[in-house]
Amino acid sequence: MREVEGTLGFKVTSTGEVVSSITVYASKLISLIVGYIAYMLRGKRKVIIVLDEVKADSDERLAELRGWLEGFANSLKWDAGKYWVEKGGSISVIVLTSDALVSKIRYKVGSKVNWALIWNLPYDAMVDLSKQLELNIDSKLLWRLTGGNPRALMNIKTVGLEKWIEVEVLGRIWKVIKESGGTTRTNIWDKLRVVVENIDDGEAELLKTMEEHNVITFKGGSTIISDIPEEEWVGRYYAYQIPAYYHALKVITARRSLHVTPKDVIEDASSS
């Protein structure tokens, strides 16, 4: 919370009033809400608007999101925001997303938006969560596979470790390889081997496909407000969303084959 407060510029208390909670389907609705807050509400309030799970699953949607972010940032600064500040208040907007593709517009939007990266749970917190979920799996193995990702831990609890690897990890990698030309593409194994050895050196087109499928994320150019582990699956600019993708690709490229089982991935993670 201290890091978030530093980003917002003021202290967040547990007694803050929630004006409303809504599911947003259109960006225009947010602009209307901001206008209402700025011109209709009375008092020197400090307002936080949180947009949760923003998605951009295509280049077209990404362009729309970029345009909206820039327009919204300008509106907050010169229109509603200015008026509200004169009254002694402030308006801050937090947009939460787990969609790696959104990172593509960071440099295009620029300093109008403060990009902050919140990483997965650290090891000790992951252990606590796994105990709460009653996962009877070795903590070190869980770390080597999930990297502290809470959603991954909850999915493992729901479907089981091997099923999770089969569907979420190997299935997603299969989609990446298929969209990259498939296994008949003569140099696909060499390109994949590069991203295993050093993810930052990967071919641009392959990295783009991996981002689109949320296998990797771009972490450069962001304010880091949580600890990022120094692991082989974390590069300087890119990192695997969860280390299970790294271990799966490590086995796949070594065999130059997609005939890999969840047990193979578990064995590689266990021996690392």
φ, ψ (nearest 5 deg) of residue 222: -120, 155
User: What pLDDT does residue 21 have?
Assistant: 41
Domain endpoint, select from 114, 132, 163: 114
Q: Give residue-wise pLDDT tens across range 133-167.
A: 999 999 999 999 999 999 999 999 999 999 999 99
Domain endpoint, select from 79, 114, 149: 114
Average pLDDT over residues 67-81: 66
Same domain for 66 and 185, yes or no, is: no
User: What pLDDT does residue 165 have?
Assistant: 97
Query: Does 57 map to a domain?
Result: yes
Q: Determine the Cα–Cα distance for residues 134 and 121; give it in Å rounded to an integer.
A: 17
Average pLDDT over residues 219-243: 84
Same domain for 211 and 246, yes or no, is: yes
Q: Which two tokens stand for residue 102?
A: 């959104």
Q: Determine the Cα–Cα distance for residues 44 and 87; give it in Å rounded to an integer.
A: 6
Percentage of residues of the chain with pLDDT beyond 90: 43
Same domain for 149 and 27, yes or no, is: no
pLDDT band at residue 6 using 50, 70 and 90 as cut-offs:
very low
Same domain for 107 and 129, yes or no, is: no
User: What pLDDT does residue 241 have?
Assistant: 92
User: What pLDDT does residue 16 have?
Assistant: 44
Q: Give residue-wise pLDDT tens across range 165-197.
A: 999 999 999 999 998 888 777 689 999 999 999
Q: Is the pTM of this model over 0.85?
A: no
Same domain for 62 and 134, yes or no, is: no
Query: Does 259 map to a domain?
Result: yes
Q: Which two tokens stand for residue 83?
A: 């008026």
Query: Does 49 map to a domain?
Result: yes
The helix-helix angle for 204-212 and 171-179 (nearest 10°) equals: 140
Domain count, the chain: 2
**Contact yes or no for 229/188 (Cβ under 8 A):** no
pLDDT at position 242 over 70? yes
Same domain for 8 and 41, yes or no, is: yes
Query: Does 224 map to a domain?
Result: no
**What is the average pLDDT score of the chain?**
78
pLDDT band at residue 10 using 50, 70 and 90 as cut-offs:
very low
pLDDT band at residue 78 using 50, 70 and 90 as cut-offs:
low
Same domain for 128 and 159, yes or no, is: yes
Range(s) of the domain holding residue 50? 2-114
pLDDT at position 69 over 80? no
Angstrom CA distances, 268 to 126, 134, 263, stand at 21, 24, 9
